Structure 1
Amino acid sequence: MTESSTSGDLLTTLRETVARLAPGDRLPSSRELIRRHNVSPVTVSRAIAQLSAEGVVVTRPGSGTYVSVRTRAADAPDTGWQTVALADRAVDTGSLGPPPEGTIALDGGYLHRSLQPTRALAAALARAARRPDAWDRAPSNGIAALRAIFAGMAGEVSPDEVMITAGGQSSLSMAFRGIVAPGAPVLVESPTYPGALAAARAAGLRPVPVPVDGDGVRPDLLADAFAMTGARLFYCQPTYQNPAGFVLSTDRRRQVVEVARAAGAFVLEDDFARFLSHSSTTPRPLLADDRDGTVVYLTSLTKPAAPSLRIGALIARGPVLERLRAVRLVDDFFVARPLQEAALELLSSPAWDRHVRTLATELRDRRQALAAAIAAELPDWSITAMPAGGLHLWVSLPAGADCQAVADAARQRGVAVSAGRRFFPTEPPAAHLRLGFAATATRADLATAVRQLSSVDPT
């Protein structure tokens, strides 16, 4: 039996025990729990810590663990005043909360644990922890060796133009707040990443959609949007775009940068999928061919490695970099040095290259498995394009379908999917779902999920 399953069994038992006791009653001692349930001291400590975090029990050093005194509803704090104080500024993440236990996750944006380089991560963290300066303050821009690696990924970039961040979402937040003034418009692809829409709106910006087709954003419509709105920033994902999966064509890559430069605006290039190709090649970033500081670039290790490796990079040239550095100092000073050192160890090891190659094959196989299941079970659903990288398929539903109704019904059948309307800054032109293929435990789960989806009425 694994440590995690043993801990879960003990938690269940202790919750049943607490339910039979009165507030203030003492639980059996740790020694008694170890003997009675034949578990390790670590398992007992974890179970008690979990119950304590939930407020079920309280621990008193030197005395024991006791059932918490349950607060009466009448004694609950009155926080109604906060509604008035917070006024009408809301941060909408569109989250439905965690799905029920056992749900097959086709809405996930991270790799399943089985796809993560957990051994390499553990080894990297162990090596990083042994460094004599591991707990020293890190430079605000990030440690030099890690900045050099990110500079090499992006092309002909100086490490001095790189700033290490706490992942892609942190980079987005800093960029939106640093580059554009509150109340201003920001141009975005339509559809686009909902986390970017949320970050832009939280910064007080107004997302303005620019349509895309199979080759990416349309430069002619981008030029029109700059002219109509006076926007000074365009946010885009040119490589394996989330959710549609397209790659901005070679000609359009040059045109997009030229259009932005002519408008006196920046391009915020989100290269989240740099290590998520389904083959051995990935297109060059827009930044690699930009010499005038038009492109501000961000990337992250979170998607290709693990959710808690919150390490990313912002790359910029000129005064905008100084602005972003100032925002960083106001926000959090620097990213924790042990995590930076661990990322450096990981990226410098042969295990990282092996992981990226293995991941490419697995993602390609999973993409094919999900696409084949959709073709067999849901012939009326249409995959807009087979992506050459990334973690998702973008699926068009039949005419008259309600994507949110489909997502809600799927959740009731034990499958979590992402309703397409979340990916549009304004009214969606049609009904879509984003279906992920990297967050499930096995490829067989993908087929099971699609069978469940086939029983959903799309209207």
Structure 2
Amino acid sequence: MSDSSSTEVLVALLRAQIAGLAVGERLPSSRDLIARHGVGPVTVSRAIAQLAAEGAVVTRPGSGTYVARRPRRADEAPDTSWQAVALSGRDHDPAADADETDGQSGALPPGVIALSGGYLHENLQPTRALGAALARAARRPDAWHRAPATGLAPLRAIFARQAGSGVSPEDVLVTGGGQGALSMLFRAVAVPGSPVLVESPTYPGALAAARAAGLRPVPVPMDDDGIRPDLLADAFAMTGARLLYCQPTFHNPTGTVLAPDRRRQVVDIARAAGAFVIEDDFARHLGHGGSVPRPLVADDRDGTVVHLTSLTKPASPSLRIGALIARGPVMRRLQGMRRVDDFFVARPLQEAAVELVSTPAWDRHLRALSAALRDRCATLADALERELPGWTPVRLPGGGLHLWLRLPAVPADAALAGTVLTDSAFADAARAQGVAVNAGRRYFPAEAPNTHVRLGFAAAADTAELTEAARRLAAAARSLGYSGG
């Protein structure tokens, strides 16, 4: 018998033997195979090599030959269970918070009205101005050159002017939107395992970013004037925290504006604790026509406030351009993290942002957006009052994209007396009626003191959809045994 035919016979015999063995079981040694089948060592070596090439066995020098994992059938579901061991040791899984931001996780089914999410409907976005700005930016001879790590000088100057006269372009670091900047900040400023103080309720994306950085969010209650300074001072003293995350202007989700007498007080309390204040100023361009207070960073001279802003909310979800404003060593640390994380923000997008906000079209867009948001906010609030009297929002905000609705505690159906209407149950009932809303529980870093839902008025197509959404929400309430009374 030739060597090749001997090898084929041995391969066939071994395949039959492997079929009856479990994954990881050891095959007989080469010496045993030679003795059992009456073949030479070359034949054994060739047979094992062929089976290894086919993926039937794995060889471990000095140990032996073992049955390999069987190839998966085309219709067989992937098995990723091995990753549980490889990923063990993480205190928190960032993927668990994948839905804890303001963006929709995907397109809503046809016919569902969007009162969830935190972006503008496409008919509120300055689409033509964005297209023209991007086209002009692309024609620049240096459009595809490497951008400075800190951002283009004209764009840094724009963000500095927006923040106030006390801020210079050297204090500005251009970022790829607000969420990435939050993640960078939490990793740069705080040590994993340490506490970070947050308003309660607060933006879920901030909670997700803090937890992904290994931080422990600690709630500080709010009232109608914003975060409570007395409880803030207590929280710093009890936790030893060195970081406060807050939204002083048109807070998400409540729409609260931090009262004038508290704005300096909050910064002073943080300064006395040796702590930073992250001021998330996402809604500066989302006012409804009234006055918008100066950002905290404008009156800060000691580097206590780290200011975060973005063009994403007032323009488009895909205009991922934002800025961090900071002074002192913390800025140098942030610049260092930029060089480690992603080097710089794409220059064409920065150039397009400069082109967009430097033209009269941007000012016209902001004026039109302000009027549209005011109209939508009033339309939804009025429709809720008609369809669900007694379910009034916590406040009618002077800016932002949302209403914060507290759910009633008393059902209309006497048979349901004593039951509690949960935010998740109402959100599910609303979805069944064709309206997507945000359950309020995820806005709280700890236990929620009351039951709320957040209703957005910017993602719907028009005011007619908002009116119809209120009607559907009333139907959802009735399906759970609650009326508007």
1:266 counterpart residue number: 276
| Matching residue's letter, 1:111 | L
Aligned amino acid, residue 380 of structure 1: G
Counterpart-to-counterpart distance in 1, 2:294 and 2:73: 58
Which sits farther off after the overlay, 313-322 or 91-100? Answer: 91-100
The match for 1:302 among 308, 312, 319 is 312
Distance in 1, matches of 2:428 and 2:442, equals: 14
Structure 1 residues 75-224: aligned runs within 5 Å: 76-87=77-88, 88=90, 89-91=92-94, 92-93=96-97, 95=99, 97-98=105-106, 99-155=108-164, 156-224=166-234
Deviation, 1:342, is 0.1
Kindly indicate whether residue 433 of structure 2 is the aligned counterpart of residue 420 of structure 1. Answer: no
Distance 1:186 1:152 in 2: 29
Q: 1:336 aligns with which of 333, 346, 351?
A: 346
**Separation of aligned partners in 1, 2:354 and 2:304:** 28
Q: Which moved more, 1:409-418 or 1:286-295?
A: 409-418
Quick one: distance in 1 between partners of 2:386 and 2:372? 21
**Kindly tell me: are residues 71 and 354 of structure 1, through their superposed partners in 2, closer, same or farther at Cα, counting changes over 3 Å?**
farther
Matched pairs, number: 389
Deviation at 1:413, TM superposition (A): 1.5
Q: Distance in 1 between matches of 2:204 and 2:405?
A: 16
Query: Aligned residue for 1:408?
Result: 428
Aligned AA (1:375): E
CA distance in 2, matches of 1:320, 1:97: 33
Contact 1:162 1:316 (C-alpha < 8 Å) held by counterparts: yes
Contact 2:245 2:279 in 1 (8 A): yes
Any idea what SS the aligned residue of 1:186 has? strand
Q: CA contact under 8 A between 1:240 and 1:246: conserved in structure 2?
A: yes
**Could you report, residue by residue, the CA deviation over 1:165-211 in whole angstroms, capped at 9, with x for unpaired residues?**
00000110010000001000000000000000000000000000000
**Does structure 2 conserve the Cα–Cα contact (< 8 Å) formed by 1:94 and 1:422?**
no
- Aligned residue for 1:369? 379
Give CA-to-partner distance per residue, 1:207-239, whole Å, 9 cap, x none. 000000110000000000000000000000000
**CA offsets, 1:250-292, max 9 Å, x none?**
0000100000000000000000001000015311000001000
Q: Report the structure number with the largest CA radius of gyration.
A: 2
CA distance in structure 2 between the partners assigned to 1:158 and 1:108 by the alignment: 34
- Secondary structure of 1:73 counterpart: coil
TM-score normalized with structure 1 length: 0.83
Distance, in Å, in 2 between the alignment partners of 1:406 and 1:71 is 43
2:361 paired with 1:356: no
C-alpha contact (below 8 Å) 1:393/1:434 kept by paired residues: yes
> Which residue in the other structure is 2:30 paired with?
none
The separation in 2 between residues aligned to 1:224 and 1:395, in whole angstroms, is 29
Between 1:78-87 and 1:418-427, the stretch displaced more is: 78-87
* Gap change, CA 1:126 and 1:223, over 3 Å in 2: same
> Which residue does the alignment assign to 2:74?
72
**Does structure 1 conserve the Cα–Cα contact (< 8 Å) formed by 2:457 and 2:466?**
yes
Say whether the 8 Å CA contact 1:109–1:436 is kept in structure 2.
yes
1: CA distance between counterparts of 2:236 and 2:217?
12
- Alignment match, 2:456: 436
Give the Cα separation in 2 of the matches to 1:274 and 1:322. Answer: 26
- Residue 328 of structure 1 deviates from its aligned partner by 1.1
Q: CA deviation at 1:387?
A: 0.5
Q: Which amino acid aligns with 2:74?
A: R
CA distance in 2, matches of 1:81, 1:286: 48
* Structure 1 runs, 4 residues or longer, greater than 6 Å off: none
Unaligned runs of 5+ in 1: 1-69
Cα shift at 1:337: 0.1
Deviation by residue 1:365-386 (Cα, 9 ceiling, x = unmatched): 0000000011000113121111
User: CA separation in 1, counterparts of 2:233 and 2:280?
Assistant: 20
Residue 374 (structure 2) pairs with residue 388 (structure 1): no
Q: Give me the CA root mean square deviation.
A: 1.4
Deviation at 1:450, TM superposition (A): 1.0
Q: CA deviation at 1:101?
A: 2.6
Q: Which runs of 5+ in 2 are unaligned?
A: 1-71, 410-419
Quick one: distance in 2 between partners of 1:346 and 1:93?
33
1:269–1:296 Cα contact (<8 Å) kept: yes
Residue 290 of structure 2 contacts residue 398 of structure 2 at CA under 8 Å; is this kept in 1?
no
Of 305, 320, 326, which residue of structure 2 is paired with 1:316? 326
Q: Is the 8 A contact 1:380 1:397 kept in 2?
A: no
Q: Secondary structure of the residue that 1:254 maps to in structure 2?
A: helix
Aligned to 1:293, the other structure's residue is in SS state coil
SS at match of 2:248: coil
Partner residue in 1 for 2:289:
279
SS in 2 for 1:456: helix
* AA aligned opposite 1:289: D
Q: Shift of the alpha carbon at 1:94?
A: 5.7
Aligned residues of 2:198 and 2:220 also touching (Cα < 8 A): yes
| DSSP 3-state at the match of 1:341 | helix
Following TM superposition, by how much is the alpha carbon of 1:97 offset from its aligned partner in structure 2, in angstroms? 4.3
Distance 2:290 2:398 in 1: 10
CA contact 2:440–2:451 (8 Å) conserved in 1: yes
Q: Deviations over 1:114-173 (max 9, x none)?
A: 000001000000000000000000000000000000000001211011000000001100
Taking the aligned partners of 2:142 and 2:73, their CA distance within structure 1 comes to: 46
Q: Which amino acid aligns with 2:84?
A: T
Query: Percentage identity across aligned positions?
Result: 67
Residue of structure 2 in register with 1:242 after alignment:
252
